[in-house]
Structure 1
Amino acid sequence: MKGAVKIGAIIAAFAFAGAAENPSYAQDAEHGKAIFTACRTCHATDHSDRVGPGLADIVGRKAGTAPGFSYSDAMKNSGITWDVKILDAYLESPQKVVPGNRMPYGGLKNPTDRADLVAYLATLK
């Protein structure tokens, strides 16, 4: 019995490790809402601007096009349309995805947290 428990624990650890590396694993928008608390300093959840643009309707929006916000040339010329995959990559490393953007953020390295945050962003209408 001890061997079965040990093998079960090892399988569970591998399953969790693989899931944490897969951005589509966690789709917990409520957890994403909690993660977003750190983003509220610069971003609103509606269409109003703060230091950064409002994030309502971000999924499906062309980058650099929210009316009234003064975007960097890098963002305006990025050619990006925000979807789940590009939001995940951007939140991991904003300067890698859009070099020269003005967002002073080093990135969210935890893939599960990013997936949950993206799930929350997708609810913003």
Structure 2
Amino acid sequence: MRTPEKIIAKERLAGREQRLSYQRAVNAGVKIAFGTNAGVYPHGWNGKQFKYMVKFGLSPMQAIQSATISAADLLGWKTKVGSIAPGKFADLIAVKNDPLADITTLENVPFVMKGGEVVKNELGVK
């Protein structure tokens, strides 16, 4: 899929400053929540953001936590989501490889569970 020209133009205008601001926030210890950027690029591409989060300062674990426990905490939902525990929503994903060794493995998610129901299962998990 080819990136639309309007997205490339936006990146040229704001990208450099965005990356510098992000690095400053990471260096200052700001808790960061992962976002989908819905409307900026096609649905399903959000997993590609992890490699940039790591490239610009977060460890792979911090990047993963930005989409789990850190996001839950910042949204005030830490008692409901963000970690695996009894009584919390069972929203889980599984990937084939270790995302701590290669964060880009989160770009291809073959297993998704939402509210305890399997909604995608390309791993054959029973």
Q: If the length of structure 1 is used for normalisation, what is the TM-score?
A: 0.22
Q: Whose Rg is larger?
A: 1
Between 1 and 2, higher relative CO (CA 8 Å, sep ≥ 6) is seen in 1
Greater percentage in helix: 1
Larger proportion of strand: 2
Which TM-score applies when normalising by structure 2? Answer: 0.22
